[in-house]
Structure 1
């Protein structure tokens, strides 16, 4: 955070994060503003002046298209070590999970810190200014707590600080391997034994300027039904975000019906888990009743299209969920790809494949999911817009790359979503501080080297 007043001059800026951005994709383009001066103090925007054709004296110049900072609403940082490795051969989500367990079993607080620091730095290079870390690797292998029971969570919080981004640590209750089944050997380090012990441990975690503490139910198969309310109550008392993997797999739905006679969404509703501070992650295999329950309760939906396609999970009913009242956010989940622009694009393109029609969201609506609604899902309600009072989080996309050169003037949102990639991010500003400048991370000098070293440490 910078206490010294500072002015950024944005060559082009997308300011369309207001509700009217949710219009039909057939309504035409979403104009951007040329020449916008943004004044910043104490990490917040104090004034936005459009129609500023030249940079004010002393202003920092951001050439290209500037958007609000992007929110990665669903991350498992250690999955970054799986990239490419899990692409060998065929299989399903369940066979992929066995490889994931092997990597999880090798993590220590030090190696996790190194990997998360490098992964969060990669996110900053992609324009991400806040991450929701769905964190369940709590203890040492075998389930023995570390001397500091939150050593792994603290490693993640510190890693985010060193990478220069915000984090919402979604401390996750993961207590069973399936309905009525104890944790497997791989899962012992995830489990606190019961929800009360989980609540006691994560209550010790403290929020900081860059860190919020939220809660998560790993899934209905991983938290016994009678203990779901304990997790929901913990989040409610703290007014904290609560996330849950929901109906990612048809096998989960089938097992839930067999055990409880209802779908996972219905089970969560029965135990008070759904609601405006809750976000269901994936929400892939839902009934019409499920969609109505989620939307009617104001529960959010976090779509992770690059992971959902990588794991062959399926295409979730994002448009139907939003139409029923579920706010949308986006996440990179397993980090097969870290590119929130690709996640936004993929949500629309997947829906086109599913329906064989085009234009389900405006580009502005997709950017809204990646910005203001994503931050809200993580408990950062004052972030994700370029307006006075908001946190000064900005990301600038080059308009002169081979991907972004040539579109009609003013179609900034369309260029960002349907042409640009993370490789086009030139600047990332968090709380008024330049974290990425001219495509280089200012705090982690060699991000590829840091990633290679951190991943290699987990292969030893």
Structure 2
């Protein structure tokens, strides 16, 4: 349904929760928003609960979903986790990746996510041989998002080396195009469509030689496309960059023209005061992924300081240890409470903005993430009568959403005016758990 009327029992309108809101939809966009409607107009779709703008998952590696429940066994570090991740990546083909991503994106829709930023670097066949269509893997992801009913920004990733000055290892050969110029040539063939936009990514400063960073940044700048980069996720990366270049990863990116308002650093965990000033002063965004950062024991990034310095915050589920953007928002605040032993670093409304409008902006969808005329008709409704959400006054809906609700409370997800999730069931992928189980099983070696 791309044209019609919705009646929202309660709706978060950015600075307040309003009861009885009528939203008119036409051509996939919101045409009008009217408050003060205590009963549904004739013929309106009724969404009972609290309706929010659609959630934006600003950082995803879809194939990492196959690791859930396996990499939690025993102990280890990010680097030992990475070896398990490589073993899963080795089994990906365009067909198996499409099946897995379709199921993962359907899981996201069930969690209220209407747009995903897919940080995509598994480009070629094992050993690095290109497929007949060099973008077969990226096209599989774009098609998977369409079939799951959500929007995607394919952040096609440049990944050229295993470390500073080192060639890719055998697992990484399928990630590499050989040079940033070859990466750019391949990306130039990718086409945007109604549900899909194309962005760029630098995997990390260790994976793209310093002399080639500007090529990737220039490609994104020429197209006015979003540019994302894993940044200072590990202290080992900082130490190696200092040894190779005599500076931090943030300074290296700044010196090669990577930072800026369309750039987002992912994680931004281990930063100096100068790094924070460089990121904030340039308007470079920060995508925090708290459930992955805690799962991998990465650390707690300086999100408060970054936002105060001028870095907009967004949220991602990254490795998909869980897929729950409300948990990511909650975890960002609660992590900061643990670190500082004080409460209330963000309001619930500010955390929801990170999960909605600011997340969409980081992915190049500035016209999404709000419930207002002209915005894309993407929204999600949370139950207010579950065991988690029953009790609080509806006017406290933002606080209930962030500090009590979760993905299990999503009842409806609408994308472009079309009901993708209705009454907690996906309308396009009939059995999401079975689809996930089958897709993960296909990747077991």
Match of 2:407 in 1: 422
Secondary structure, counterpart of 2:201 in structure 1: strand
Q: CA RMSD in A?
A: 0.6
Instruction: Output the TM-score relative to the length of structure 2.
Output: 1.00
Match of 1:308 in 2: 293
Q: How far, CA to CA, are the matches of 2:182 and 2:70 in structure 1? A: 35
Match of 1:440 in 2: 425
State yes or no: 1:379 paired with 2:360: no
Match of 1:7 in 2: 5
Q: 231, 234, 242: which one pairs with 1:249?
A: 234
Match of 1:57 in 2: 42
Contact 2:10 2:394 in 1 (8 A): no
Q: 301, 305, 326: which one pairs with 1:320?
A: 305
Q: How far, CA to CA, are the matches of 2:228 and 2:379 in structure 1? A: 26
Alignment coverage as a number of residue pairs: 445
State yes or no: 1:193 paired with 2:178: yes
State yes or no: 1:228 paired with 2:213: yes
Contact 2:105 2:150 in 1 (8 A): yes
Q: 18, 25, 43: which one pairs with 2:28?
A: 43
Deviations 1:47-105 (A, max 9, x none): 00011111000000000000000000000000000000101110000000000000000
Q: How far, CA to CA, are the matches of 1:9 and 1:332 in structure 2? A: 30
Q: How far, CA to CA, are the matches of 1:198 and 1:224 in structure 2? A: 13
Matches within 5 A, 1:332-371: 332-371=317-356
Match of 1:265 in 2: 250
State yes or no: 1:93 paired with 2:45: no
Q: How far, CA to CA, are the matches of 1:41 and 1:87 in structure 2? A: 46
Deviation of 1:125 (Å): 0.1
Deviations 1:421-453 (A, max 9, x none): 100000000000000000000000000000000
Deviations 1:386-443 (A, max 9, x none): 0000000010000000000001230010000000010000000000000000000000
Match of 1:238 in 2: 223
Match of 1:27 in 2: none
Instruction: Output the TM-score relative to the length of structure 1.
Output: 0.96
Deviations 1:339-380 (A, max 9, x none): 000000000000000000000000000000000000000000
Q: How far, CA to CA, are the matches of 1:90 and 1:124 in structure 2? A: 32
Q: 94, 119, 124: which one pairs with 1:139?
A: 124
Q: 49, 54, 75: which one pairs with 2:60?
A: 75
> What residue ranges of structure 2 are gaps of 5+ in the alignment?
none
Q: How far, CA to CA, are the matches of 1:247 and 1:204 in structure 2? A: 31
Deviations 1:164-213 (A, max 9, x none): 00000000000000000000000000000000000000110000000000
Matches within 5 A, 1:162-181: 162-181=147-166
What stretches of structure 1 move > 2 A for 4+ residues in a row?
none
Q: How far, CA to CA, are the matches of 1:391 and 1:346 in structure 2? A: 28
Q: How far, CA to CA, are the matches of 1:414 and 1:78 in structure 2? A: 32
Match of 2:191 in 1: 206
Q: How far, CA to CA, are the matches of 2:417 and 2:440 in structure 1? A: 31
Deviations 1:197-250 (A, max 9, x none): 000001100000000000000000000000000000000000000000000000
Q: How far, CA to CA, are the matches of 2:17 and 2:391 in structure 1? A: 15
Q: How far, CA to CA, are the matches of 1:225 and 1:431 in structure 2? A: 40
Match of 1:104 in 2: 89
Q: How far, CA to CA, are the matches of 1:85 and 1:343 in structure 2? A: 21
Match of 1:281 in 2: 266
Deviation of 1:15 (Å): 0.3
Match of 1:413 in 2: 398
